[in-house]
Chains A and B, each alone.
Chain A
Amino acid sequence: MSAATADVATVGHRLALQRRGTVAVLVLVVLLASLRYGDAFYSGINLTSYFDDAVKYSLIALGMTFVIMTGGIDLSVGSVILLAGVAGGLASPHGAVVAVLVGVGTGAAVGAVNGLLIAHSRLEPFVVTLATLLWARGLGLQLADTQTVVYGSGALTSLARDKIFGLTTGFWLMVVLFVIAAVVLKFTAWGRTVLAIGDSEESTSLLGVPTRLNKFSVYLLSGALAGLAGVVLGSQTGSVSMDTGVGWELIAVAAVVVGGTLLTGGVGSIGGTLAGLLLLQVIFTIINFENGRGGIEINSYWQNVVRGAFLLVVVLLQTGVGRGRKKS
């Protein structure tokens, strides 16, 4: 009994420490990189591509954070980006607003299917979203006739590239969404219930709190944000290619875990996810930069090796610290 109590007591504390650790490492890495590369590190083009990548990943990581907080997982987001990106691209000749609505709507529709199957039919999130990963990608490829989809609307393509205070609209979109999400988590009954479900779904419903709608809505949200990410991507690059989104769901999961959200749910942080994502991205940017300078020879495949290794280190730290505590 006492072991279990002590365990619960330290989980939140440990993850809070880890979040601070993530932010500290992020700052440290950026400082070291600036010392080493000087102004070249901040050269406009580099920063823009860094944040362009961060924006699209961060949108799916944001949805994933809520899903994981309920104790679930959404493996379909990478495929949803492709499907919604294609749908948005096909709708783009009708104007930027239509493209965004179609993209987000497509994502939300896929998310709703996931949510219904998980919350209502009580199927396992892993299996349901794995199936969606397959069918959504297939549907996207079919819809695009396996050709790269070009975003036609001028208004839309300039949208993500326009700059406010020297940073892209996409960047500001990301910042605003994360702030809203943090407020929602902390200050709405919906947000607190998300955490309660992840901690103990049975207890939550025994306490008289309905859980189905809440579970349904996190998958809806995750789908909608992935849809938005698809349109943002199309807007950034002017097109959506057929290999878009492959494996991105795992980048999102990695960012959430590094950011100090418990994979089994119940404890988590919105800001942590952003910090985790930015940290992972900084590390790849530096690898690319070193490649460019000829300092090291690492091809892009190695990025995934680094990603995997980094994730393992974080998980080891999480559980290692936990075990050390328990013994004492």
Chain B
Amino acid sequence: MTDVTHEGPLLEMRGVTKSFRGARALDDATMTVGRNQIRALIGQNGAGKSTLIKILTGVYRRDGGEVRLDGNAVDFRSTADAQKAGVVTIYQEVNLVPKLSVAENIFLGRFPRRRGFVDWATMRSGARDALAKLSLDIDVTRPLGSYRVATQQMTAIARAVSLEARLLVLDEPTSSLAEREVETLFGVMRSLRDSGVSMVFVSHRMDELYEICEDVTVLRDGRTVAEESLATLNQYELVSKMLGRAAEQVASGARTSARPKQQAEPVLAVSGAASAPRLRDASLAVYAGQVQGVAGLLGSGRSELLRSVFGADPLDAGEIKVNGRTGSLRTPGEAIAARVAFLTEDRRAEGIVPHLSVRDNLTLALLPKLTKRGIVDRKRQRQIVTDYIARLGIKAQADQPIVELSGGNQQKVLLARWLATEPAVLLLDEPTRGIDVSAKAEILALVDKLAADGMGVLLVSSELEEVVSACDDVTVLRDGVSVARVSLDRLSEESLMAVMASGEAVPPSEASSPDVPQKDKADD
């Protein structure tokens, strides 16, 4: 630890707990931030990072545990409270007010006044001064939203600095910045640190953590599992702490069902795909009868890759070929016409129509085909629904509203919705998130069977175990670049973790694991 012990740390959070409607979000979370220190806070999705930050900054109130700032116990009831104490957060999605001017955003809530009226001249010069400290010279009278995201983020930091923040929390500030902008941000962070501001930095990009932070707090399942110096922890060990798997643990990659031999032509070929801001250079190929996995840490561009394949995000560069078609798919409509199906990550927001029945949900994508002169062919609809309920083992009545189903059954209905369109390529983004173990196994078995029947499947999952057991071949993404391809005979959680963490280094025994160490050329 680099804490300045004679003064004590600036912030201590001990044994913090928080539940939402009975669900534990934080269970004994601990974080210590020293003076003049930049501390990394990492953890997988759902590990409790945001909850911990929101407790620190007064958005949520903790159920238990203690928070000490400068040695004094504090209990912030609102963000205003936290601000007064010098704790300021800069959120991932820049949470400012885009239509007001830059100057107003810096001074909102504490406008300089003269005789009760807002003193615009003082406010503008104050804003210019605050930005000048960050070496930024912009027109502060223009609406904040007219500037690029990097500038908006700098404005948020300028606000924090002018609030005389002592502890600045940066929640994934780099996720929508370009490389050069990240460097500028880091420069600002370093000079802030040297002037006495401590920071908590949240990012999923390992390189960034090692570049800017001295120490790290790792959260997993609502608990702090490590508080260490980054100097004594390599990327490989860090990732294994975050995922909760011993570095030595090697799971069996054995597959059961035999797959058809690879054909010459892939059903899906991605080469050099780039889509701002996350996806930079991804290549892979999926053959009929194959389950191709995509692994990578959060923020590595996994979901973005699927969205680009489906035509939901525009491509800046590269090519995506489906079924030998030339030209990438530009809209989801084109993708569906090309027999691509996409089961999205967020079931609730993007998938189900909660109050419609299982039948209506299942046949939603199929309705145009089921409709004759504006009338839905109810008989065929019923037949299809009965068929899929039986085939996928969905435990529900056709007329039941889908909200009443368990997560696993909802997911099966959504999968059936896409299968009913008879796709050639199936894109699955975290297909088993939030569903119980047995339903998980059923869905994975189903995916296996679909591939065996000749479908090309592209599977994204953050659970390595799942990737290893379900996929024939895994492409590893790192910071938006496909850095390696690991084939079935060498597939293990260990080999994947190594590539995910470093993008190159593999433990000595596995040194030859990735087929192509730098860039995947599977589609040549």
Residues of A within 8 A of B (CB): 1-2, 4-5, 7-9, 11-12, 183, 186-189, 191-193, 195-196, 199-200, 202-210, 266-267
Contact = CB atoms under 8 A, between A and B. Distances in A.
Given A8-B145, A199-B98, A203-B97, A208 B79 contact: yes
B33 to A, nearest CB: 20
Contact of A8 (B95, B99, B176): B99
Contact of B59 (A9, A200, A206): A206
Interface stretch (B34-42, B110-118, B132-140): B110-118
25 contacts: A5-B146, A8-B145, A11-B99, A187-B117, A188-B116, A189-B118, A191-B118, A192-B104, A192-B108, A195-B99, A195-B100, A200-B97, A203-B95, A203-B97, A206-B59, A206-B79, A206-B95, A207-B79, A207-B96, A208-B78, A208-B80, A209-B108, A266-B97, A266-B99, A266-B100
Contacts of B96: 200, 203, 207
B102 to A, nearest CB: 12
A206 B144 CA distance: 17
Interface in B24-47: none
A200 B98 contact: yes
B379 interface: no
Contacts of B111: 189, 192
A270 B149 CA distance: 30
B91 interface: yes
Nearest to B113: A189
B80 A209 contact: yes
Contacts of A267: 99
A191 B118 CA distance: 10
Interface in B131-179: 142-149, 159, 176
A1 B176 contact: yes
Interface string B197-209: 0000000000000
A195 B99 CA distance: 8
Given A7-B145, A266-B100, 9 more contacts: A1-B176, A4-B145, A8-B145, A186-B118, A204-B97, A207-B96, A208-B109, A209-B108, A266-B99
A205 B42 CA distance: 26
Interface string B317-335: 0000000000000000000
A8 B83 contact: no
A1 B99 contact: no
Contacts of B393: none
The 7 A-B residue pairs with the shortest CB-CB distance in the complex, in nearest-first order: A8-B145, A9-B146, A208-B80, A209-B109, A187-B117, A266-B99, A203-B95
Nearest to B89: A206
Contacts of B276: 1
B160 to A, nearest CB: 10
B98 A207 contact: no
Contact of B143 (A9, A193, A210): A9
B80 A199 contact: no
B277 interface: yes
Contacts of B95: 200, 202-203, 206-207
Contacts of B159: 207
A8 B146 contact: yes
B124 to A, nearest CB: 13
A207 B176 contact: no
A12 to B, nearest CB: 5
Contact of B108 (A1, A12, A191, A193): A193
Contacts of B149: 1, 5
Contacts of B97: 195-196, 199-200, 203-204, 207, 266
Nearest to A6: B146
Nearest to A208: B80
A250 B142 CA distance: 32
Contacts of A199: 97-100
A259 to B, nearest CB: 17
Contacts of B144: 8
A199 B144 CA distance: 12
Residue from B59, B98, B144, B147 whose CB has the most chain A CB atoms within 10 Å: B98
Nearest to A4: B145
Residue from B82, B96, B142, B145 whose CB has the most chain A CB atoms within 10 Å: B145
Contacts of B98: 8, 199-200
Given A1-B276, A5-B145, A5-B146, A207 B108 contact: yes
Contacts of B80: 208-210
A201 to B, nearest CB: 10
A208 B95 CA distance: 11
Contacts of B108: 192-193, 196, 204, 207, 209
B83 A208 contact: yes
Contacts of A191: 118
Nearest to A204: B97
Contacts of A207: 79, 95-97, 108-109, 159
A173 B277 CA distance: 54
A196 to B, nearest CB: 5
Contacts of A193: 108-109
A208 B110 CA distance: 10
Residue from A1, A2, A183, A208 whose CB has the most chain B CB atoms within 10 Å: A208
Residue from A8, A195, A202, A267 whose CB has the most chain B CB atoms within 10 Å: A8
Interface string B5-21: 00000000000000000
A188 B123 CA distance: 13
Contacts of B116: 188
A7 B146 CA distance: 8
Nearest to A195: B100
B176 A12 contact: no
A133 B176 CA distance: 46
Contacts of A188: 116-118
Interface in B44-83: 59, 78-80, 82-83
Nearest to B57: A206
B145 A192 contact: no
A22 to B, nearest CB: 20
Interface in B206-224: none
A2 B151 CA distance: 13
Nearest to B115: A187
A200 B159 CA distance: 17
A192 B100 contact: yes
Contacts of A189: 111, 113, 118
A272 to B, nearest CB: 15
Contact of B147 (A5, A12, A202, A208): A5
B89 to A, nearest CB: 8
Contacts of A11: 99
B143 A12 contact: yes
Contacts of A200: 95-98
A262 to B, nearest CB: 8
A326 to B, nearest CB: 14
Given A12-B143, A193-B108, A206-B91, A1 B100 contact: no
Contacts of B142: 9
A4 B118 CA distance: 29
A202 B91 CA distance: 12
